[in-house]
């Protein structure tokens, strides 16, 4: 337990946890700044952010920082456990109370710009990215695309490396920001 962002950073360096739960509003150094510094370290832990208010600004900043989860303090304890477990498993979880707003924000974009990095992806990698963006696990993606789960895992890692991202939450953001997927779109998969 840390009283401020600086203590959180020191605690992570000392104890090397797998997952860190940070409050966005912390004295001396806020949780977002602490998360950025923690995630910039060598072999960083997964970070789950919690906040009283699920402002879009905080959510976007947290996802851009590379956090693996975002939970409102008003959520039931089970939601915190789910976010921590998802982060520990290498997945991401965003509180359902803010997910709808996140999807609506991306759905409202009229002319998404496709990042050059996405343009260089093969059809098979784009198919995996689309399914990650829809929240499927590696196992579910493998079943959908008739691939072994290990191969899907390697493709997800390859996507992260190619796009310079940290986790699945950032992959989801990239897929929506680029217009590769849109809310409600079932999508077409070129490798099927």
Q: Exposed, middle or buried by CB within 10 Å (0-12, 13-18, 19+), for 160?
A: middle
Give the C-alpha separation, 77 to 13, whole Å: 27
Residues of the chain with CATH 3.40.50.2300: 5-107
pLDDT tens, position by position, 35-69: 999 998 888 999 999 988 767 777 888 888 889 99
The answer to whether 29 and 6 have CB atoms below 8 angstroms apart is yes
- List the helix and strand counts (H, then E) for the chain: 10, 4
DSSP 29: S
The answer to whether 83 and 67 have CB atoms below 8 angstroms apart is no
Task: Give bridge partners of residue 48 from the DSSP assignment.
Answer: 21, 69
Q: Which residues of the chain have pLDDT under 70?
A: 54, 105-117, 183-192
**pLDDT at position 189:** 52
Architecture per CATH, domain 116-178, reads as Orthogonal Bundle (1.10)
Mean of the per-residue pLDDT values of the chain:
84
**pLDDT at position 192:** 44
Nearest C-alpha neighbor of 139 from the set 70, 91, 176, 103: 91
pLDDT tens, position by position, 102-114: 777 666 654 444 4
Residues of the chain with CATH 1.10.10.10: 116-178
**pLDDT at position 108:** 62
Residue 111's CB is within 10 A of a number of other CB atoms, namely 5
Does 5-107 carry CATH code 3.40.50.2300? yes
**pLDDT at position 191:** 46
**Dihedral sign for Cα atoms in the order 175, 181, 186, 191:** negative
The answer to whether 112 and 174 have CB atoms below 8 angstroms apart is no
């Amino acid at each position: 337990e840390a009283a401020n962002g600086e203590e959180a950073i020191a605690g992570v360096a000392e104890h090397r946890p797998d997952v860190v739960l940070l409050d966005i509003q912390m004295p001396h150094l806020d949780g977002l700044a602490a998360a950025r510094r923690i995630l910039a370290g060598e072999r960083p832990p997964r970070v789950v952010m919690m906040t009283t208010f699920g402002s879009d600004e905080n959510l976007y900043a947290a996802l851009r920082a590379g956090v693996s989860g975002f939970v409102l303090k008003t959520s039931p304890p089970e939601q915190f456990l789910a976010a921590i477990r998802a982060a520990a498993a290498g997945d991401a979880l965003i509180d359902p109370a803010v997910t709808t707003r996140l999807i609506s924000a991306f759905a409202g974009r009229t002319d998404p710009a496709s990042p050059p990095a996405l343009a260089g992806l093969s059809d098979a990698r784009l198919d995996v990215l689309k399914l990650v963006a829809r929240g499927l696990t590696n196992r579910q993606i493998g079943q959908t695309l008739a691939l072994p789960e290990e191969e899907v895992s390697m493709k997800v890692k390859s996507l992260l490396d190619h796009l310079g991202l940290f986790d699945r939450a950032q992959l989801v953001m990239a897929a929506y920001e680029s217009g590769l997927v849109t809310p409600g779109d079932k999508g077409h998969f070129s490798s099927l």
